[in-house]
Amino acid sequence: MEIESPEEVAARLAETGLKKRVIKRLPISPYGPDVGIPATECPICLGEFEDGEKVRVLPKCNHGFHVRCIDTWLSSHSSCPTCRHSLLDQPELAGAAAAQPPATQEVAGAGG
């Protein structure tokens, strides 16, 4: 039985889309001075955000995208397209990469 390292698990999950219900839970804000995202354009389609346009703001990194753009992205990825920050809940990741007890090796007959 193969055991994945936490890095391997993260890499595999990053290539897996989020569930629709998870995507839907991400907050949507109308674009404006108060939205609190650094970008003025959508990194996915490179279109400028217009005032009042609905943008989805990722809670973990504050990157914003058009709702339709990020929804499409997240259907096949689980990380932010800008900074690759994983959007998966940590407990899910931690559960998949459950800590394994370190194997102890007895050194027998060591002479020197």
Give residues in contact with Zn ion (CB under 5 A). 42, 44-45, 61, 63, 66, 69, 80, 82-83, 85
Which residue number, 4 or 41, has a Cβ lying nearer to Zn ion? 41
To Zn ion, the closest distance from the beta carbon of 44 in angstroms equals: 5
CB of 37 to Zn ion, least distance (A): 10
Of the candidates 30, 46, 36, the residue with the CA atom closest to the CA atom of residue 82: 46
| CA-based end-to-end distance of the chain | 37
Nearer to Zn ion, 83 or 94 (CB): 83
- Taking CA atoms, 109 is separated from 20, 93, 106, in Å, by 58, 41, 10
CA angle 88, 90, 91 (to 5 degrees): 115
Q: Provide the edge-to-edge strand list for the sheet that holds 54-57.
A: 28-30, 54-57, 64-66
Considering the complex, state which of residue 5 and residue 75 has its C-beta at the smaller distance from Zn ion: 75
CB of 95 to Zn ion, least distance (A): 23
**Residue nearer to Zn ion on the CB measure, 61 or 96:** 61
